[in-house]
Amino acid sequence: MKIGFIGLGIMGKPMSKNLLKAGYELLVLDRNQASVAEVAAAGARAADYAAIANECEVVITMLPNSPQVKEVMCGEEGLGALMHEGQVFIDMSSINPTASQEISAELAKKGVKMLDAPVSGGEPKAIDGTLSIMVGGDEDVFEQMKEMLLVMGGSAVYCGAVGAGNTTKLANQIIVACNIQALAEAMTLAQKAGVNPQLVFEAIRGGLAGSTVMDAKAPMMIAGNDKPGFKIDLHIKDLNNALDCAHSVGAPVPMTAAVQEILQWLHNHEGGQKDHSAIAQYYEHLADIQIGR
């Protein structure tokens, strides 16, 4: 199978490399030529829209948000205009489910089928190929693509029609953000009460409060490590999409709105490029402490 891969950022670059390792032939495209050169050195071929449309059975995008995916697939000079019947488009970006449905409807006019397949797990899981992949679209197309998707993920779960993958991802991002916020509050409480946050973490991680979020983010908070695995600005983008979607369907999301305000405060205080575990820094600022230090 020959695949066109567009978007070689923090996530797309290791995902594309895993496809190469599995023996897939890749044509790649990104505005960052250094990223293109790096993936090309691993065995891919740099290409333009025309080559991808003419040669590839499958096109994958891993882009920042809805406008970028729409520009690539629905723009007047975009890739979608060059694609043809029988090809499959898989958008692995995290975007608004409504946008996924709009893009799918446009591509369907040309006989191109679409899956929305956002991922969870951040850069570490992108590197080791164990991402969680949430998929919307035609179930038959999902079954055809599942083996390839599992090269990049530890799981690939069919969630429903087009848009269901991104709806599932928004639910995931709400849970992750609220978990990080709760963890930051708990670590702040421990620090202010004079109890070592590291010992609190070790004591509770095996109980009901334990989670993948806690295991990944508590050590970062305690060490003051805000090197991004998933940036605050990207989480703001996801929660904006979650709030928009929730408002359109009438779902109450007050916790999401609250944590979004914290993320926005961090963005406004030069924290947008930090890891989302830096939510703890908001509490450190309020409490005049440093967690674990």
For the annotated catalytic residues, the residue numbers are 169
Other Cβ atoms closer than 10 A to 100: 28
CA angle 1, 68, 162 (to 5 degrees): 60
Residue holding tokens 């409480």?
189
In contact, 173 and 239? CB cutoff 8 Å: yes
Phi-psi region of 23 (alpha: psi -120 to 50; beta: other; left: phi over 0): left
Other Cβ atoms closer than 10 A to 157: 14
- Give which of 101, 98, 109, 51 is closest to 79, Cα–Cα: 51
- Give which of 79, 89, 90 is closest to 119, Cα–Cα: 90
